[in-house]
Amino acid sequence: MAILAEAKRVIMVEAQAVAALAERLDASFQQSVELILASKGRVVVTGMGKSGLVGQKIASTMASTGTPAFFLHPAEGIHGDLGMIMTGDVVIAISNSGETDELLRILPSIKRLGARLIAMSGNPDSTLAKAGDYFLDVSVKEEACPLGLAPTASTTATLAMGDALAVALLVERGFKAEDFAIFHPGGSLGKKLLLRVEDMMHSGSAIPLVTEDTLMKEALFEITAKGLGITGVTDADGTLLGVITDGDLRRALERGEDILQATAGQLMKRGAKRIVRRELAAAALQIMERFSITSLFVFENEQDQSPCGVIHLHDLLKAGIA
């Protein structure tokens, strides 16, 4: 019980520290966002120790949401890496005390290089806070560490402030899911945001199609030959009227119907689910899951009635969409 009680205390202390930030947000935050938006350069995030680790995450979040950013280690900066900073860049310098030696040593160079400075500190009266063009107050009432030594609530608050900056910038830039996908091409997330139906649909002669007057004996061959467990049924002009699945055939046999003497038009199920080829593949998966189906016929646009392709659940699974 003592372990759980301590864990809950830590979480509550950190939650309160983050909540307090919202009450302190002022014009400096808005001006910081506007400064970054107006900048023709990059955002350079810098900090030592735990502040540096938080700074790396802030830079990474910004870079992945439309704000070019990278992390500069201040100790490396004083030994040549300040060359990464260019005129027009905006530097976000992080230090809870605002008196971190390595950070203060690079401030004059930042100014000489023509970069603007956003100071993020827990000490409004610190050297860093006073040196910044704008100051973001990330001070906390107490650390979650019972000794008051290990950065805990302070690093959580700093991280939250960085996320607030990144998301505010994202919104102001009109950053969209499609933009996010460009920066995340790998993994399942990238596939869900990048792959479109047309990238994996079966097209041309691979589309299983029969006309409504086709005998089911021939329609069965079409279903089997195309290997998707389905065939579309069209009229003479190529308009999709309905579909027949292997499940429909099993149910017809269970009812005792002589399916071989029937036509495709007699056995088809009207109202086939459809999707436009430019839709995300993830959207196709959502439709399949909603209606418990395994295939969708694909069309050039919403008005088109003749399918240009078909996409199967197995295609999505193979691509890692599901």
Q: What is the pLDDT of residues 64-96, one digit of tens each?
A: 888 999 999 999 988 878 889 999 999 999 999
- Looking at the 3D structure of the chain, how many domains does it have? 2
User: Of 175, 205, 226, at which residue does a domain stop?
Assistant: 175
Same domain, yes or no: 210 and 308: yes
User: Of 124, 144, 175, at which residue does a domain stop?
Assistant: 175
312 vs 296: CA distance, rounded Å: 7
Same domain, yes or no: 24 and 113: yes
Same domain, yes or no: 41 and 83: yes
Same domain, yes or no: 171 and 203: no
Q: What is the pLDDT of residue 242?
A: 92
The CATH number of whichever domain residue 131 belongs to comes to 3.40.50.10490
Q: What is the pLDDT of residue 182?
A: 64
Q: What is the pLDDT of residues 123-170, one digit of tens each?
A: 999 999 999 999 999 999 999 988 888 899 999 999 999 999 999 999
pLDDT grade for 194, boundaries at 50, 70 and 90: confident
DSSP assignment of 109-164: HHHHTT-EEEEEES-TTSHHHHHSSEEEE---S--SSTTS-S-SHHHHHHHHHHHH
DSSP assignment of 174-218: T--HHHHHHT--SHHHHHHHH-BHHHH-B-GGGS-EEETTSBHHH
Is residue 322 scored above 70 in pLDDT? no
Same domain, yes or no: 45 and 107: yes
Is residue 189 scored above 80 in pLDDT? no
Measured at the alpha carbon of residue 51, what is the angle toward residues 45 and 57, in degrees to the nearest 5?
A: 55
Same domain, yes or no: 55 and 122: yes
The CATH number of whichever domain residue 202 belongs to comes to 3.10.580.10
Same domain, yes or no: 113 and 219: no
Q: What is the pLDDT of residue 179?
A: 66
Same domain, yes or no: 229 and 165: no
CA dihedral angle for residue 31, residue 34, residue 40, residue 41, rounded to 10 degrees:
60
Number of residues written out for the chain: 322
Domain span at residue 254? 197-318
User: Of 145, 175, 205, at which residue does a domain stop?
Assistant: 175
Same domain, yes or no: 207 and 296: yes
pTM of the model: 0.67
pLDDT, mean over the chain: 90
Q: What is the pLDDT of residues 34-43, one digit of tens each?
A: 999 999 999 9
Is residue 185 scored above 80 in pLDDT? no
